[in-house]
C-alpha cells in the first residue's frame, strides 16, 4: 500500500510539473483564452505601432455540425476587428484562418462555402484575410479554393506559402500573377522535400525575390520568420526593404511578421528601425491550442533550439510586462 501511495504521489508530481510547464508555454505564446483578452492584447500592440493578425486557435475539424458555431465565432470576431481597424486606421488589422478548421477535413465544398462566408464578412468590416498553410497534401486544393473565393468575394486575401517545399517558388509566381498576397514561412509541418536549413532559407529568398518584383501595390508580401540572419538578407535586397513606401515606388507592401511571444525584443528593434512589424496573435483555450503549442515545443527539441526556446519565454514575459499585457 505504501509503495502504491508513493507511486501515485510521484505521478501527481510529474503531472503537476508537466501542467506547470504547459501553462508557462501557453501564457508565453497565446494572448488569452477569451476574445476579450485577445482584443485587449491586439489593441495594446496596435497602440504601440504594430500591425496585428488575430488567429482563433483550433484545427482539424471533422464534423460538419460544428461548422455553424465556428463560422459564427469568426463573424462576431470580424466585427470586433473592424472596430479596431477604425480605431487604428493607419495600422494593418487581419484575421488568419486554418483550412482544416473551416471544412477542409470534411470536403472541398464545405471548405469553400465556409471560406467564402468569412471572406465576405471580412470585406464588409474592412479586414484583411490570411489563409494559413497546413499539410502539403491539401496545398493544391487550398490554392484552388482561395483563388475562386477571392474572385467571387472580391475580398483582400493572402495565403501562406512554405519554403520547405521546392515547388513553392513556381507557385509563388502563379499566386502573385493572380493578384494574391503572400505570407512566406519556412513551414512548421514535417512534410517538405527540403531538409537542410540552408536549402529552406535559399528557397525562402527565391520566393521572396520572385514576388517582390511585382508592381501591384494592392499586394502584401510578408516575411514570416524569426530568423534575424534571413531578415537581414531580405533587408539588403535593394529597393525591396521593409520600410519602403509602396505608394512612392510601386510594388507590394512589405512586412515582417512574427508570432506573439517569440523574439519579442527583435520585433521591437525592427519596429523602432522603421520596418512594418506585424504580430501574429493566437488565442483560445488550452485544448484548441494543443497543436499550435506542440509545434512550438517541437521547435525546441535540439540543444541550440532549446536555448532559444527558453530565451523566448523570458523575453515574452519581459515584453508583456513592458507593454502591460498579461504577466
- pTM to 2 decimals? 0.88
Q: What is the CATH number of the domain that holds 67?
A: 3.20.20.220
| 273 compared with 86, residue with greater pLDDT | 86
Cell for 3? 509503495
155: in domain: yes
* Long-range CB pairs of 315-320, under 8 A, 24+ apart, other chains included: 315/263, 315/264, 315/265, 316/28, 316/29, 316/261, 316/262, 316/264, 317/28, 318/264, 318/265, 319/264, 319/265, 319/268
Q: DSSP for 285-308, please give it.
A: -HHHHHHHHHHHHHTT-SHHHHHH
Instruction: Yes or no: say if 242 and 276 are a contact pair by the CB < 8 Å rule.
Output: yes
* Residue 104 domain-assigned (yes or no): yes
For residue range 115-164, list pLDDT tens digits in order. 999 999 999 999 999 999 999 999 999 999 999 999 999 989 999 999 99
Residue 231 domain-assigned (yes or no) = yes
The structural domain count of the chain equals 1
Q: Is the pLDDT of residue 221 over 70?
A: yes
Smallest CA-to-CA distance from 196 within 183, 205, 206, 186 is with: 186
Which one is predicted more confidently, 189 or 125? 125
What integer is the mean pLDDT of 237-262? 72
- Domain span at 234: 32-285
Residue 295 falls inside a structural domain: no
Q: Which pLDDT score, from 0 to 100, does residue 213 have?
A: 83
Amino acid at each position: 500500500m505504501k509503495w502504491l501511495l508513493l507511486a501515485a504521489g510521484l505521478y501527481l508530481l510529474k503531472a503537476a510539473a508537466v501542467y506547470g510547464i504547459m501553462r508557462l508555454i501557453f501564457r508565453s505564446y497565446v494572448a488569452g483564452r477569451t476574445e476579450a483578452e485577445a482584443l485587449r492584447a491586439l489593441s495594446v500592440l496596435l497602440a504601440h505601432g504594430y500591425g496585428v493578425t488575430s488567429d482563433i486557435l483550433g484545427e482539424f475539424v471533422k464534423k460538419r455540425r460544428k461548422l455553424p458555431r465556428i463560422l459564427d465565432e469568426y463573424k462576431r470576431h470580424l466585427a470586433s476587428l473592424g472596430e479596431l481597424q477604425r480605431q487604428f486606421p493607419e495600422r494593418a488589422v487581419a484575421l488568419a484562418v486554418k483550412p482544416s478548421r473551416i471544412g477542409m477535413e470534411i470536403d472541398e465544398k464545405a471548405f469553400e462555402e465556409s471560406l467564402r462566408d468569412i471572406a465576405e464578412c471580412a470585406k464588409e468590416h474592412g479586414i484583411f484575410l490570411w489563409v494559413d498553410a497546413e499539410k502539403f497534401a491539401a496545398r493544391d486544393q487550398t490554392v484552388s479554393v482561395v483563388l475562386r473565393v477571392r474572385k467571387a468575394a472580391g475580398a483582400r486575401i493572402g495565403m501562406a506559402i512554405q519554403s520547405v517545399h521546392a515547388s513553392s517558388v513556381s507557385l509563388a509566381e502563379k499566386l502573385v500573377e493572380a493578384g494574391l498576397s503572400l505570407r512566406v514561412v519556412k513551414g512548421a509541418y514535417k512534410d517538405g522535400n527540403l531538409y537542410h536549413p540552408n536549402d529552406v532559407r535559399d528557397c525562402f529568398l527565391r520566393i521572396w525575390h520572385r514576388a517582390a518584383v511585382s508592381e501591384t501595390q494592392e499586394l502584401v508580401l510578408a516575411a514570416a520568420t524569426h530568423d534575424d540572419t534571413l531578415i537581414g538578407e531580405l533587408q539588403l535586397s535593394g529597393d525591396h526593404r521593409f520600410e519602403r513606401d509602396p505608394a512612392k515606388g510601386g510594388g507590394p507592401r512589405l512586412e515582417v511578421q512574427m508570432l506573439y511571444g517569440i523574439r519579442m525584443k527583435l520585433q521591437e528593434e525592427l519596429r523602432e528601425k522603421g520596418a512594418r512589424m506585424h504580430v501574429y496573435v493566437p488565442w483560445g483555450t488550452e485544448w484548441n491550442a494543443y497543436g499550435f503549442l506542440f509545434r512550438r515545443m517541437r521547435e525546441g527539441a535540439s540543444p541550440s533550439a532549446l536555448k532559444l526556446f527558453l530565451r523566448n519565454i523570458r523575453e515574452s514575459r519581459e515584453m508583456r510586462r513592458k507593454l502591460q499585457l498579461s504577466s
